[in-house]
Chains A and B, each alone.
Chain A
Amino acid sequence: GAGVSQSPSNKVTEKGKDVELRCDPISGHTALYWYRQRLGQGLEFLIYFQGNSAPDKSGLPSDRFSAERTGESVSTLTIQRTQQEDSAVYLCASSVAAVDGGYTFGSGTRLTVV
């Protein structure tokens, strides 16, 4: 596609429920990243995928968070048993290769846990 697509754009969920966020990267972009941005805060690294290599999960804040990516296509970020502190905008980004180059970000999913 022309850009990085994320869905849903907004999600309100009850505390304790599971949520799944989707990212569709730019075609041909081998690297895909998830970041979390709390209100008025910076970008917190969560996880990184590069092709078929094992993902770098070092930024995932707890075992309630997981992500998958099939090949070089769509990625899903799953948050289980959501907590209020999970409320944030979850941004996905992709790049041509991990070696160099800036990211193209999606518009994000605004998650609100009530």
Chain B
Amino acid sequence: GENVEQHPSTLSVQEGDSAVIKCTYSDSASNYFPWYKQELGKRPQLIIDIRSNVGEKKDQRIAVTLNKTAKHFSLHITETQPEDSAVYFCAASTGGFKTIFGAGTRLFVKA
């Protein structure tokens, strides 16, 4: 079955710097890759997603890239702010069936 690996597990950056979180997936049939942000004690919320027919997608300060050949996808956050501090989960889905999540990255943005 699908396996999603995510790293780093913890990331600490200075406010204003960029943060990059990387994920790899195992099932080449995966075609949908969402990213979720989970603030402490709250539910995960979808922040951005990318489909396999697209290599890059951007929404304000966040962007995702996908390399299907290497089965890698990444989340990029620019000009980080303290409110970006949270746990971020990548995920991979095959044709919309069960979505497998990475283990999460705890991002700390230091003011």
Give the size of the chain B interface in residues (CB under 8 angstroms). 22
Verify B32–A45 contact, CB threshold 8 A: no
In the complex, what distance in Å separates the CA atom of A41 from the CA atom of B32? 23
What residues of chain A lie closer than 8 Å to B73, measured between beta carbons? none
- CB under 8 Å from chain A, chain B span 31-63: 32, 34, 36, 42-46, 49, 51
Q: Which residue of the partner chain, among A33, A91, A106, A107, contacts B99 with CB atoms under 8 Å? A: A33
In contact, B102 and A45 (Cβ under 8 angstroms): no
Structural contact, B43 and A45, CB atoms closer than 8 A: no
Can you list 19 pairs linking A and B with CB atoms under 8 Å apart? A41-B103, A41-B104, A42-B102, A43-B89, A43-B104, A45-B99, A56-B98, A58-B1, A98-B95, A100-B32, A102-B36, A103-B34, A103-B46, A103-B99, A105-B44, A105-B45, A106-B43, A107-B43, A108-B43
User: Apart from A33-B98, A99-B96, what are 16 other A-B pairs with CB-CB below 8 Å?
Assistant: A35-B101, A43-B101, A45-B101, A48-B98, A56-B98, A58-B1, A97-B96, A98-B95, A98-B96, A101-B49, A101-B96, A102-B49, A105-B44, A107-B42, A107-B43, A108-B43
A residues with a Cβ closer than 8 A to B are 31, 33, 35, 41-43, 45, 48, 56, 58-59, 91, 97-108
